[in-house]
Structure 1
Amino acid sequence: MFNLIKTVFVNFISDEEGASAIEYALLAAMVAIALVTFVQPINTAITTIFTSIQTALT
């Protein structure tokens, strides 16, 4: 019984497929942080550009 538990544990530790999922999760988290950080300044800049275009057209 102990050998079976040891074998399952060793296989679980040496399995590297889960590492890809963790890497993708970290990448998604970094993208989300970048979006939260930069969306408001970009939104403000785009609003300013469209407002100036609208003012020029009227």
Structure 2
Amino acid sequence: MNQAYYALVTLQAFFSDRFDGRKDRGATAVEYGLMVGLIALAIILAVTFLGGSLEGLFDEASEAIGGTARPEGE
């Protein structure tokens, strides 16, 4: 999870440095679209790569506190 956070912070720093020197200092719709797309991509990748391990972690935590894991077949 820290890697995703660091990637987003790095991306924000890159865009911040990139656009600080501009005279208009305003981001256009294209630039906002690129940022939203990259953030969405980062979220999709994080969910894809961490989904299985997070599922197992929550199942283990649920069983450790006396809860029941998801029923078989789900």
Task: Give the structure-1-normalised TM-score.
Answer: 0.55
Which of the pair has more CA radius of gyration?
1
The equivalent residue for 2:29 is 17
Count of aligned residue pairs for this structure pair: 40
Superposition RMSD in Å: 1.8
Shift, 1:43, TM fit? 1.2
Gaps of 5+ in 1: 1-15
Which residue does the alignment assign to 2:52?
Answer: 40
For 1:32, the aligned partner's letter is I
- Partner of 1:54, secondary structure, is coil
Unaligned runs of at least 5 residues, structure 2 = 1-27, 68-74
Identity %: 10
More helix by share: 1
Moved over 2 A (4+): none
1:27 matched to which residue of 2? 39
Which of structures 1 and 2 has the larger relative contact order (alpha carbons within 8 angstroms, sep 6+)? 2
| 1:52 shift after superposition | 2.2
**With structure 2 as the length reference, what TM-score do the two structures score?**
0.45
Give 1:54's match in structure 2, choosing from 44, 54, 66.
Answer: 66
